[in-house]
Structure 1
Amino acid sequence: MNVLLAEDNEILRTSLSFFLKKQGFQVSPFSNGKDALESLQNQVYDIILTDINMPGVSGLELTEYVRNTLHSETPIIIFTSSTVEQTELDSFRIGANEFIAKPVSPAILLIRMNKLLNK
């Protein structure tokens, strides 16, 4: 399974990449939304994991691009440190499948990923 991981926090990006690779996933990590969006133009992913607040292109913009420009149903999990309920509602409104508050538990992330991938 091919995973796009867009997260500007280097420690979280590195640790999630390491964890997911150990679980057998192929991970393409990006430190900003712009590079992740460019990758989506050339590569197909089985699942997308994205932070909301990133330099260049936000996770919400990335999600809108996948849903409205690519017309893709690729599962998307958004994570953020925001505790604002409206952020979570906006994420679902634009097409995210899951929303995880930071700090992200790798074990919980894996369960939610498998749930989406096994539909």
Structure 2
Amino acid sequence: MKILVIDDSNVIRELIKHSLKDNDHSITYATDGSDAIEKIKNDTPFLVITDLMMPHVSGLELVTWIKENYNDQIKIIVLTALGEEDVVLEAFSLGIDDFITKPFDPKDLSLRIKRFEM
């Protein structure tokens, strides 16, 4: 499965990388939404895991762009900090498939990704 991980935090990207290392996934990383859009245009992933609060292009703007251009072809999991419930509700209204609250358990992330493999 091709996965694109978008987060402006190197720590979060490394945590996700570590939590997915034992799975057979092709993982690409982006540091913000504008970088992610270019990577999606060049090599469409099956799954996007994205932060919401990022510079340049926010996670909500990215979700909107993905849904406008790829409809349901790309699955989306949103990473969000505690206290951003209203933003998560907006993300669901835009069409995300799931969300994970930061800090997160790497096993939980793996289980949520496996759900898309079925």
Same structural fold, with TM-score higher than 0.5 when normalized by the shorter chain: yes
Equivalent residue, structure 2, for 1:101: 101
Query: Displacement, 1:82?
Result: 4.3
Matched, 1:62 2:59: no
Q: Matches of 2:26 and 2:65 in 1, distance apart? A: 22
Q: Percent identity?
A: 30
**Alpha carbons 2:6, 2:50 under 8 Å: kept:** yes
Matched, 1:78 2:40: no
Matched, 1:114 2:110: no
**Unaligned regions of 5+ residues in structure 1, if any?**
none
Equivalent residue, structure 2, for 1:6: 6
Q: TM-score, normalised by structure 1?
A: 0.91
Root-mean-square deviation (Å): 1.3
**Alpha carbons 1:17, 1:29 under 8 Å: kept:** no
Deviation per CA, 1:13-62: give whole Å up to 9, x if none: 01212321332211101111110111111111111100001111111111
Secondary structure, in 3 states, of the residue corresponding to 2:53? Answer: coil
Equivalent residue, structure 1, for 2:17: 17
Q: TM-score, normalised by structure 2?
A: 0.92
Q: Which 4+ stretches in 1 moved above 6 angstroms?
A: none
- Residue correspondences, number: 118
Matched, 1:29 2:29: yes
Q: Matches of 1:73 and 1:107 in 2, distance apart? A: 25
Q: Matches of 2:84 and 2:7 in 1, distance apart? A: 19
State the AA in 2 paired with 1:34.
S
**Alpha carbons 1:91, 1:99 under 8 Å: kept:** no
User: Which of 33-42 and 62-71 deviates more?
Assistant: 62-71
Q: Matches of 1:31 and 1:43 in 2, distance apart? A: 16
Secondary structure, in 3 states, of the residue corresponding to 2:61? Answer: helix
Q: Matches of 2:84 and 2:28 in 1, distance apart? A: 29
**Unaligned regions of 5+ residues in structure 2, if any?**
none
